[in-house]
């Protein structure tokens, strides 16, 4: 696909990282995850990493000027990308508008109680070169008419990554008290951004519920993207 610019939107733990990795493979998109970029910078103890470490560990938002500069630098030479975790504020959305035109927004919906269960179960590969994601939570219930059937995504070998064999770990900001803070921040910050895209910018929305196993949701999103006829 040529010239496809997408944003994936969803609360922390809604699987947006995993969906965007799959969409990257399917459509040949460059995946840009601000969360991944920041975690990597922190791990490498770069100037940027040291500056933002405390903010990220507390689940707070990194200041707009820093995030905008990082993303603009990444996308300036790209025709195909999926943004994961950006924009999270109106300022960031407006800054993005100034440098490019977004074709569609993928919005993942999920009830909060499911999210908390799912985030508590998330495990990531400790090897930063790999970054594979697993989940030990096993969810099967209905909330407000939405039936969730979310089986665990387990590694084949006792809590070791299938791809590289490194031990699986829980992300610092996946701990329950931090998770709740992150959901609160997401709700407060995302509402105006989504409204901005719905009312002012009028970017097409692809909305899906995170209530079925990964591949089914990916297929749904893929069909919707193809329907929009972007390319």
- Distance in Å, CB of 14 to ligand AMP, minimum: 10
Of 31, 39, 88, 107, catalytic: 88
Of 5, 16, 107, 118, catalytic: 16
Buried b (16+ CB within 10 A) or exposed e, 133-143: bbbebebeeee
Please say if 94 is a catalytic residue: no
Position 12 contacts ligand AMP (CB under 6 A): yes
Token readout for 120 is 């508590």
Q: Exactly one of 6, 102, 182, 208 binds ligand AMP (CB under 6 A); which one? A: 182
Please say if 123 is a catalytic residue: no
Matching residue, tokens 């490019």: 100
Position 88 contacts ligand AMP (CB under 6 A): yes
Position 49 contacts ligand AMP (CB under 6 A): no
Please say if 212 is a catalytic residue: no
Residue 59 burial (10 A CB sphere; 0-12, 13-18, 19+): buried
**Taking CB under 6 A as the rule, which mask of x and - marks residues 51-80 in contact with ligand AMP?**
----xx--xxxx----x-------------
202: left (phi over 0), alpha (psi -120 to 50) or beta: left
> What is the gyration radius of the CA atoms in the chain, in angstroms?
17
Minimum CB distance to ligand AMP smaller for 59 or for 131: 59
Token readout for 43 is 């791990």
Q: In what order do the strands lie in the sheet with 133-135?
A: 133-135, 122-125, 168-169
Catalytic site positions = 16, 88, 122, 171, 182
Residues in touch with ligand AMP (CB under 6 A)? 12, 34-35, 38, 55-56, 59-62, 67, 85-86, 88, 92, 173, 182
């Amino acid at each position: 696909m040529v010239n496809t610019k997408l944003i994936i939107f969803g609360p922390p733990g809604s699987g947006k990282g995993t969906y965007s990795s799959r969409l990257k493979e399917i459509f040949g998109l460059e995946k840009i995850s601000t969360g991944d970029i920041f975690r990597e910078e922190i791990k490498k103890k770069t100037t940027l990493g040291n500056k933002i470490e405390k903010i990220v560990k507390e689940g707070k938002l990194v200041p707009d000027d820093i995030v905008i500069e990082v993303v603009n630098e990444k996308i300036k030479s790209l025709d195909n990308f999926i943004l994961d975790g950006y924009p999270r504020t109106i300022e960031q959305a407006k800054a993005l508008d100034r440098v490019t035109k977004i074709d569609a927004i993928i919005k993942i919906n999920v009830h909060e109680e499911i999210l908390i269960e799912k985030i508590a179960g998330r495990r990531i590969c400790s090897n930063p070169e790999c970054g594979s994601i697993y989940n030990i939570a096993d969810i099967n219930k209905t909330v407000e008419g939405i039936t969730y059937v979310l089986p665990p995504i387990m590694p084949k070998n006792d809590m070791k990554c299938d791809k590289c064999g490194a031990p699986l770990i829980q992300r610092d900001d996946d701990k329950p008290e931090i998770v709740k803070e992150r959901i609160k921040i997401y709700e407060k910050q995302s509402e105006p951004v989504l409204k901005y895209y719905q009312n002012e910018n009028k970017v097409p929305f692809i909305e899906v519920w995170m209530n079925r196993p990964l591949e089914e949701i990916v297929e749904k999103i893929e069909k919707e993207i193809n329907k929009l006829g972007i390319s």
